[in-house]
Amino acid sequence: MSGGSALERRYGRLLSCYPAAHRRQHEQEMLGVLMTDARPGQRRPGLAESADLIWGALRVRLRPGLDSAADPGWRDTLAVLSVVLPLTVLLVYAGSEATAFSLTLEPDGAGSLLLYPAASLAVPLLLTALVLLRLRRTAALATAGLMIAITAASLIQAGVIGLGNALEAAAFAGFVLVLELAALLASPGPRRGLQILSRRYRMLVAAVAAAVGAATGLSTPHPGWRLPAAALVATIAIGMAVASPLSRRLLVLLAIPFCSTTLVFVLSSQLPAPVSGAVACLPSVVISCLVIVAIRRSARTQAAATAKDSAERD
């Protein structure tokens, strides 16, 4: 039975992705199910099965923070965010690239937004395609993979250009990917997000993101455009703040990556790189913490309401 024990060892290695508490509770049970389900003579876990186990581990790991019992408002907002975030990043990048191109600028002209010029469009394009195809699981695994790749690239970069510069460059991509992964894992996913965004709103989101991209693209080489661009962004933010509770929550979540990249842009000319990189990340970290507190609080309120509800029914 050496084939069986080799398979069991490999399953055990995959199960080590799960948190310790979950392993104590379920590891033997899951191994039993996996081994019973294995084909006779099977020596390795299948690809789909491995992906499914890693996906399960990701969901279980994320649950305590962003509980699936969070109130429907936050769950729906995160579902919308899972679609809107890669789309917005893609259109903002594309808008600023196109503007820079039409002004026949050096690609560097719009470069403060762009981490790795070639990869910068490929990454949001890939994630946008996956969420529009409603492939939640593939999108989550791709996001996790990209996070690892970008962390590795930043560490290598840090050795070349210094930690501060690398932090500045990777902050935006890092915040976007962490947020996207959280949105995919802690919500009903892009299918629900697209359902909420009716066709009309989808066009609106696309138009707004493209406009912001064009405005930021123009304002990089032309300081005269900065005020109109800032006014445009402020108008959109006010619109989102008053439109509905969902758009308000969406605004807060979108602020997490975009406020860091804006601050990097503003501060990098005034402060040395290590300081500006760290300062630029600070508001994003603060907003993230506040959002997590708000979601956990809403989950507690929701749980209390459910308990009260079922007590009254009994």
Partner 1 sequence: MNERSFQEPTFLILTALAAGAQHGYGIMTDVAQISSGRVRLRAGTLYAALDRLTAEQLIEVDHEEIVDTRLRRYYRLTPPGAQRLAAEVERLRANASVAARRLALLTGTA
Would you tell me which residues interact with partner 1 (CB under 8 A)?
Answer: 22, 26, 28-37, 48-49, 52-57, 59-60, 63, 67-69, 71-72, 75, 188, 310, 313
Shorter beta-carbon distance to partner 1: residue 73 or 274: 73
Shorter beta-carbon distance to partner 1: residue 24 or 43: 24
Shorter beta-carbon distance to partner 1: residue 72 or 228: 72
What's the closest the beta carbon of residue 12 comes to partner 1, in angstroms? Answer: 13
What's the closest the beta carbon of residue 148 comes to partner 1, in angstroms? Answer: 19
What's the closest the beta carbon of residue 97 comes to partner 1, in angstroms? Answer: 38
What's the closest the beta carbon of residue 278 comes to partner 1, in angstroms? Answer: 36
Shorter beta-carbon distance to partner 1: residue 48 or 242: 48
DSSP per-residue string spanning the chain? -HHHHHHHHHHHHHHTTS-HHHHHHHHHHHHHHHHHHSPTT--S--HHHHHHHHHHHHHHHHTTTS-TTS-HHHHHHHHHHHHHHHHHHHHHHHHHHHHHHHTT--GGGGTTT-SSHHHHHHHHHHHHHHHHTT-HHHHHHHHHHHHHHHHHHHHHHHHHH-HHHHHHHHHHHHHHHHHHHHHHHSSS-HHHHHHHS-HHHHHHHHHHHHHHHHHHHHHTT-GGGHHHHHHHHHHHHHHHHHH-HHHHHHHHHHHHHHHHHHHHHHHTTTS-HHHHHHHHHHHHHHHHHHHHHHHHHHHHHHHHHHHHHHHHH-
Shorter beta-carbon distance to partner 1: residue 38 or 205: 38
What's the closest the beta carbon of residue 227 comes to partner 1, in angstroms? Answer: 43
Shorter beta-carbon distance to partner 1: residue 75 or 150: 75
Instruction: Round to whole Å and give the CA distance between 298 and 71.
Output: 6
What's the closest the beta carbon of residue 52 comes to partner 1, in angstroms? Answer: 4
Rg of the chain (C-alpha set): 22
What's the closest the beta carbon of residue 112 comes to partner 1, in angstroms? Answer: 40
Shorter beta-carbon distance to partner 1: residue 220 or 302: 302
